[in-house]
Chain A
């Protein structure tokens, strides 16, 4: 319902004679209406739900009119199920091609969190066409994109399908001046590490702590200092938020306090005013001040709530462990920390996240650790998580180090469509979508861990590492930075090889001549599988540094918790 909320909320729907709204669930919708309209994602379980309803009506001898609206599009599998269930003729089907939700002035979301699991776990390419369509839409609005770069298998496929679309519907963009100079495609699995880290920029923290959905967040009573919860829209229009969103959390509280003092000073001005000035003040300024006051107290409340939660969780210790993993020292200590985390049953999602971070940064867990941590996890959080571990292994997020290097060659053969039953057996018969991670080597090559003499100044950040307190430059952002600098992948062959993506790094520069210099500074970054607020903050910083403007197109906004939940077979 949430993207719908941003377009037409309940009252607007009611104005259009919608009588009642139900959530598609396993429960029957008890309604006396003669017309039922289902607005659904094209998933088979939704089809079954609708079929149950319609067939129940049939059995009860009841005739109604049914309409199914698929968003963003209808899938053939859904039609098949409707046919199978015998209701194909009873419902009429429509599509609502709603695929891009502008969450902010520089952020477009496709609101497809399922993309991550569907593609990166199951290998299902169903949403690639949706992405291509969205890009086609953008190119009809903003002209062709002269420069295209990308890395990742899904990136390549999306790019190729999009180009096919453009060619088929030729003429729509011909001759149009490009307004956006570059487009960069990135697969989420190019950089799992960044997605798994705890976020410390304000917007990221708010997302990690409160869950931002479709650009808005629910602040509970502990934040609003009242007995009510408040739904708040978080974007550039919130002037207070806009100033602190990309800041490291350590700066935020001080900033807000200063602002509160300024606000108080503004209010106090009215003491010395005469009637005329007061009248002016009330009509012109008071509303704005009140608004700012409201926003300030909300964000201060949020900060307090965040700090309270983090102290309780012993956040300091957690961050220390994460940084150790990123930098690659004290691994044994970190492993013990994770073990204790699991033993104490702190949180199934957090424990999983830490294990994955350890696995990716260390190229898999050593067998002894893998088995022991897995056993402890199953004992602490439930034996059914055996399935979760199997998923994580398939996706390459939590793996066991292979005994000996010889397997790598075999593994890569298997993943190249060769059928070899013997090889299949050796690699546990998992057709590997997963890649071997080489994080340490990549980290060294790209200088992801800044060498700092003295303290890293978070108030005046000097590089993108500030989004992780100076400990680590997000890999995805660094890749984008390097490719944009070179306008190609030249000189990055080693990195590309280490990312295991040699066939999927591409450049296409064909239409540059028409592009203005202004447009050449605009870059559209397409994240396939989700992007985090930390990455967005980091790239905004890069933009300010280099004179670029980034626009983000993501299949969904994500964070470590969402990633882990997507892989968890067992719903909590």
Chain B
């Protein structure tokens, strides 16, 4: 729509909807604002014409949207009593009489009361430290955080930071508000100074560390993390920070290398399973999974080998096995899965052990659609008989069910299971053979 400036004026002034007035009316109110900015002290200027505190700004005259809403105040009062329904609609308008009754010599408690109502208040006249602190005290006893922060803004502007810090150190409520305010406006420098002054070393360290979230570029972030290492964290946290740095350092190297390999197109694993995302800033476990997926066979010396990650970050066996299993199962590399659990005892016999419980192994294998023979093998290794039976039934490992029922001498269950296997199958035959066997002392 093309409108000339003149048309526009006309449009806005003659529109059937009185839209909210953007213009500051040329009334004494705005003159007032100008004066206030020029000089710091003012006396009553506001017209007492309007009875209302609100400069009414109408959307359309109707208090709220035209559709009926369930559960409005109307129905609330209906629910309460037979009294006539009460209607309330929050109105849109200038903050209640900002400049009304302006005066220059309000006491601290009056000032604070005005502030709570959102009225304009010059705090400039509270010049002595004693006056300032009294004002703060009043604000704190009012409980309104907006007022407390308003006073703190004033104090921050008119007191040196040493004095401000010294006074706030013994005023916990005000102190909390200042800290939150500094966090919100991003005054990192003053915040850190404050923590240093209060000897809150850990919060100082954490506050500094938090900044890394604002740095997107990996190299820059890595360098920043390096600066966090010497900070006064607790012993455990220092280790975590160190790990964070090391992890990102590694990820940058791996990412660069792998991106190169992938684009070169020579490496099979990257061709078959193209990477869906970058490894940067991923958690350690995710990085380990990635490494077990793409770099499983690499020797300990390389940055991207799983063993290297395990050693560097002291990843517990449980976590390592779980993650490696998930990765190899996804690739359907059943031999690798086998190798994970096979150990040789001192007599040279191989045996299967798992730090995570074989029921977990079975679940992960099943999730990755492992063939029944593989599943069966691991279900068999589950120690707890009930769990074994449950899993075998759930995953249709017939042999295991049959053998377990036989071992438990549970004829009923075996009979019941017979109906679940395929007619004329080898399993059915086996079941029949067992049921006929005279050597078993069935318990039911």
| Contact indicator per residue, chain B 250-274, by CB within 8 Å of chain A (1) or not (0) | 0000000000000000000000000
Question: A44-B185, A93-B95, A424-B200 given as contacts; is B144 within 8 A of A518 (CB)?
Answer: no
Chain B residues with CB under 8 A of A17:
15, 17, 19
CB of A155 to closest CB in B, whole Å = 11
B244 CB-CB contact with A under 8 Å: yes
B20 CB-CB contact with A under 8 Å: yes
| Contact indicator per residue, chain A 201-217, by CB within 8 Å of chain B (1) or not (0) | 00000000000000100
Question: A16-B19, A376-B319, A379-B315 given as contacts; is B73 within 8 A of A125 (CB)?
Answer: no
Chain A residues with CB under 8 A of B184:
43-45, 77
Chain B residues with CB under 8 A of A493:
none
User: Which residues A546-572 have CB closer than 8 A to chain B?
Assistant: 549, 551, 569-570
Chain A residues with CB under 8 A of B352:
none
Taking a contact as CB atoms closer than 8 A, the residue among B75, B91, B169, B202 that contacts A97 in the complex is B91
Interchain CB contact under 8 A, B88 and A379: no
A126 to B8 CA separation, bound complex (whole angstroms): 41
B4 CB-CB contact with A under 8 Å: no
Interchain CB contact under 8 A, B237 and A386: yes
B71 CB-CB contact with A under 8 Å: yes
Residue of A nearest to B75 (CB): A105
Taking a contact as CB atoms closer than 8 A, the residue among B66, B73, B76, B116 that contacts A129 in the complex is B116
| Contact indicator per residue, chain A 2-46, by CB within 8 Å of chain B (1) or not (0) | 000011110010001100000000000000001101000001110
| Contact indicator per residue, chain A 109-125, by CB within 8 Å of chain B (1) or not (0) | 00000000010001111
CB of A389 to closest CB in B, whole Å = 9
Interchain CB contact under 8 A, B185 and A77: yes
B150 CB-CB contact with A under 8 Å: yes
Residue of A nearest to B37 (CB): A89
Chain A residues with CB under 8 A of B19:
16-17
Interchain CB contact under 8 A, A236 and B176: no
CB of B373 to closest CB in A, whole Å = 25
Interchain CB contact under 8 A, A387 and B206: yes
Chain B CB within 10 A, most for which of A66, A73, A96, A123: A123
Consensus secondary structure, chain B interface = helix
Taking a contact as CB atoms closer than 8 A, the residue among B57, B113, B144, B283 that contacts A382 in the complex is B283
B385 CB-CB contact with A under 8 Å: no
B64 CB-CB contact with A under 8 Å: yes
Residue of A nearest to B181 (CB): A77
A99 CB-CB contact with B under 8 Å: yes
Residue of B nearest to A418 (CB): B170
A96 to B15 CA separation, bound complex (whole angstroms): 23
User: Which residues B92-110 have CB closer than 8 A to chain A?
Assistant: 92-95
A215 to B69 CA separation, bound complex (whole angstroms): 11
Question: A94-B93, A344-B322 given as contacts; is B80 within 8 A of A179 (CB)?
Answer: yes
CB of A140 to closest CB in B, whole Å = 9
How many of chain A's residues have a CB under 8 angstroms from any CB in B?
101
Chain A residues with CB under 8 A of B434:
none
A37 to B20 CA separation, bound complex (whole angstroms): 10
Chain B residues with CB under 8 A of A518:
81
User: Which residues A338-394 have CB closer than 8 A to chain B?
Assistant: 340, 343-345, 371, 374-376, 378-384, 386-387, 390
Chain B residues with CB under 8 A of A7:
64-65, 69
Chain B residues with CB under 8 A of A35:
22
Interchain CB contact under 8 A, A73 and B118: yes
Chain A residues with CB under 8 A of B20:
37, 67, 94
A45 to B184 CA separation, bound complex (whole angstroms): 8
A180 to B81 CA separation, bound complex (whole angstroms): 10
Chain B residues with CB under 8 A of A99:
90
A486 to B243 CA separation, bound complex (whole angstroms): 56
Chain A residues with CB under 8 A of B65:
7-9, 12
Chain B residues with CB under 8 A of A430:
200, 202-203
| Contact indicator per residue, chain B 61-81, by CB within 8 Å of chain A (1) or not (0) | 000111001111101110111
Chain A residues with CB under 8 A of B69:
6-7, 102
Interchain CB contact under 8 A, B234 and A428: yes
Chain B residues with CB under 8 A of A340:
360
Interchain CB contact under 8 A, B199 and A424: yes
Interchain CB contact under 8 A, B57 and A8: no
Interchain CB contact under 8 A, B70 and A123: no
Interchain CB contact under 8 A, B76 and A105: yes
Taking a contact as CB atoms closer than 8 A, the residue among A37, A95, A107, A380 that contacts B94 in the complex is A95
Taking a contact as CB atoms closer than 8 A, the residue among B23, B144, B285 that contacts A161 in the complex is B144
Interchain CB contact under 8 A, A97 and B90: yes
A340 to B356 CA separation, bound complex (whole angstroms): 9
Question: A387-B209, A570-B213 given as contacts; is B71 within 8 A of A236 (CB)?
Answer: yes
B172 CB-CB contact with A under 8 Å: yes
Chain B residues with CB under 8 A of A417:
170-173
Residue of A nearest to B69 (CB): A6
A425 to B234 CA separation, bound complex (whole angstroms): 12
A456 CB-CB contact with B under 8 Å: no
User: Which residues A537-551 have CB closer than 8 A to chain B?
Assistant: 549, 551
CB of A485 to closest CB in B, whole Å = 23
Interchain CB contact under 8 A, A128 and B143: yes
Chain B: number of interface residues, binned into ranges: 35 or more
A483 CB-CB contact with B under 8 Å: no
A267 CB-CB contact with B under 8 Å: no
Question: A95-B118, A126-B145 given as contacts; is B200 within 8 A of A102 (CB)?
Answer: no
Question: A421-B199, A429-B198 given as contacts; is B144 within 8 A of A92 (CB)?
Answer: no
A405 CB-CB contact with B under 8 Å: no
User: Which residues B36-71 have CB closer than 8 A to chain A?
Assistant: 57, 59-60, 64-66, 69-71
Interchain CB contact under 8 A, A102 and B285: no
CB of A524 to closest CB in B, whole Å = 10
Residue of A nearest to B204 (CB): A429
User: Which residues B180-237 have CB closer than 8 A to chain A?
Assistant: 180-181, 183-185, 198-203, 206, 209-210, 212-213, 234, 236-237
B24 CB-CB contact with A under 8 Å: yes
Question: A126-B146, A428-B234 given as contacts; is B322 within 8 A of A8 (CB)?
Answer: no
Question: A67-B20, A124-B176 given as contacts; is B8 within 8 A of A34 (CB)?
Answer: yes
Chain B residues with CB under 8 A of A107:
71
Question: A67-B22, A125-B143 given as contacts; is B94 within 8 A of A94 (CB)?
Answer: yes
B374 CB-CB contact with A under 8 Å: no
Interchain CB contact under 8 A, A12 and B284: no
Question: A98-B90, A384-B244, A428-B234 given as contacts; is B206 within 8 A of A390 (CB)?
Answer: yes
Interchain CB contact under 8 A, B92 and A96: yes
A425 to B232 CA separation, bound complex (whole angstroms): 12
B240 CB-CB contact with A under 8 Å: yes
Interchain CB contact under 8 A, B93 and A381: no
Chain B residues with CB under 8 A of A570:
213
B241 CB-CB contact with A under 8 Å: yes
| Contact indicator per residue, chain A 400-434, by CB within 8 Å of chain B (1) or not (0) | 00000000000000010101010011001111010
Chain B CB within 10 A, most for which of A8, A12, A76, A428: A76
| Contact indicator per residue, chain B 291-312, by CB within 8 Å of chain A (1) or not (0) | 0000000000000000000000
A74 CB-CB contact with B under 8 Å: yes
Interchain CB contact under 8 A, B284 and A65: no
Question: A76-B153, A160-B143, A379-B285 given as contacts; is B201 within 8 A of A429 (CB)?
Answer: yes
Q: List 19 A-B contacts (CB under 8 A).
A: A6-B69, A93-B94, A99-B90, A102-B72, A102-B75, A103-B71, A123-B176, A126-B149, A128-B143, A179-B80, A345-B286, A374-B236, A384-B244, A386-B209, A415-B172, A424-B199, A429-B201, A429-B203, A431-B176
Q: A94-B20, A233-B70 are in contact. List 4 more A-B contacts (CB 8 A).
A: A125-B177, A375-B240, A383-B247, A424-B198
A residues touching B (Cβ–Cβ < 8 Å)? Answer: 6-9, 12, 16-17, 34-35, 37, 43-45, 65-67, 69, 72-77, 80-81, 92-99, 102-108, 118, 122-129, 137, 141-142, 157-158, 160-161, 164, 168, 179-180, 215, 233, 235-237, 340, 343-345, 371, 374-376, 378-384, 386-387, 390, 415, 417, 419, 421, 424-425, 428-431, 433, 518-519, 522, 549, 551, 569-570
Closest 8 CB pairs between A and B? Answer: A126-B145, A125-B145, A123-B176, A76-B150, A383-B244, A65-B22, A8-B65, A237-B70
